[in-house]
Amino acid sequence: MGEAERRIHNLPSRGSITNALRRPGKVDMKLRYRADVRTLAWAFVLMPGLVAAQYLRPALAGWLTPLSMYAAYCAAVIAHNHNHVPTFTGRIANRLFSAWISVFYGFPTYGWIPTHNLNHHRFTGREGDATVFVEPGRPDSAWVAFTHFFRSTTTQGPLLARYRQMLYRRSKAAWLGIWGQYVVVYGAHAAMAWLAIARFGPGRGLFVYLSALGLPAFGALWGIMFTNWVQHVGCDPTSRWNHSRNFVSAWMNALVFDNGFHTVHHEKANLHWSLLRTEHERVAHRIDPRLNVSSIFGYAFETYVLGRDLGLVELAARDPRGVAGAGDLTGRASSRG
């Protein structure tokens, strides 16, 4: 790895969005990594293309909803990747890209900083993690997993509020920039809903908007939090290498920008997504093999339909504080809201 790449990997992740709000710069569209040509194809061709197709031919609404859901989930993954390693070398380009992605993702991208960078990467499932608090020995179930989104949003809300208050004290420009992100996201959705209703009438117009943007954006938020849940439930939050579950399927990772390699992402948060597979292969022998599974779909089916325990079942021998002897626990985990 060259010196330039090492400098990129060591960039402070929390500055990728906020610094763009504070400091001016030229619109430099040069990519930091060539692999992000795929990122741009998804962001500027796939995502808007699916929206345009349904607005131009409303008969496609509903039929294209599954693809729109996938594209919006990818927007969430791209927002996450962009937060850790900005896509472009120019600050203004990164700022504009954040705004563009946020429309499909359904939430201002600054939200990654206080909830993900400063919280989840610090606590990684331990007590204090507002995104996914894993308690060894607490039972998991389909209900717990599928409703994790609602508990997690409740616990993340105060982090967002405190971060906005901190910015207000430190930089009014950055604080205004964050509210500008809200205006962009919800203003764009309101405008697209109005456009659909104006063109097709209230019923069909609302259906077109929900199929093209509304439901996919909600699904992206729900899906990225569900992914975070299954990446940590049944793992050992006190372990360096076994705190996360990895989904190693080649085809699945090709579809989601290698988002399945979660252990090494926590180990090297600023490593570009295109380098995660190689890094995972380098340290895979250190990870409990039960935590390197094929796909998230297979894991969810086995766990929530067949009822199999695919976690580290020996964690049932200790209580949530890591103290041995909690023999009545089941070895699974839950979220605390």
HEC states along 99-140? HHHHHHHCCCHHHHHHHHHHHHHHHCCCCCCCCCCCCCCCCC
For residue 268, tell me if it sits in a domain.
Answer: yes
Domain span at residue 56 reads: 3-317
| % of the chain residues with pLDDT over 70 | 83
Q: Which of 1-5, 219-223, 278-282 has the lowest mean pLDDT?
A: 1-5
Query: What is the number of domains present in the chain?
Result: 1
C-beta contacts of 152-158 below 8 A and 24+ residues apart: 152/225, 152/228, 152/229, 152/335, 152/337, 153/225, 154/337, 155/130, 155/131, 155/336, 155/337, 156/111, 156/115, 156/119, 156/130, 156/131, 158/130
State the pLDDT at residue 325: 30
Q: Which of 67-76, 126-135, 297-306 has the lowest mean pLDDT?
A: 126-135
For residue 100, tell me if it sits in a domain.
Answer: yes
* 7 Cα distance to chain centroid: 24
d(CA 312, CA 85): 32
For residue 330, tell me if it sits in a domain.
Answer: no
pLDDT digit string (tens) for 15-48? 444 444 444 455 678 999 999 999 999 999 999 9
For residue 336, tell me if it sits in a domain.
Answer: no
Average pLDDT for 124-142: 84
Answer yes or no: are the C-beta atoms of 88 and 31 closer than 8 Å: yes
For residue 56, tell me if it sits in a domain.
Answer: yes
Answer yes or no: are the C-beta atoms of 81 and 228 closer than 8 Å: no
State the pLDDT at residue 314: 65
State the pLDDT at residue 94: 95
pLDDT at 124 over 50: yes
Q: Provide φ and ψ at 295, rounded to 5°.
A: -130, 160
Query: How many CB atoms are located within 10 Å of the residue 64 CB?
Result: 19
State the pLDDT at residue 321: 43
- Confidence bin at 7 (pLDDT 50/70/90): very low
Average pLDDT for 99-113: 96
For residue 23, tell me if it sits in a domain.
Answer: yes
pLDDT at 258 over 70: yes
Which is more confident, 238 or 274?
274
For residue 324, tell me if it sits in a domain.
Answer: no
- Confidence bin at 160 (pLDDT 50/70/90): very high
Answer yes or no: are the C-beta atoms of 32 and 9 closer than 8 Å: no
d(CA 256, CA 67): 13
pLDDT at 88 over 90: yes
- Confidence bin at 334 (pLDDT 50/70/90): very low
Q: What is the H or E stretch that residue 246 is in?
A: strand 246-247
For residue 334, tell me if it sits in a domain.
Answer: no
pTM above 0.75, yes or no: yes
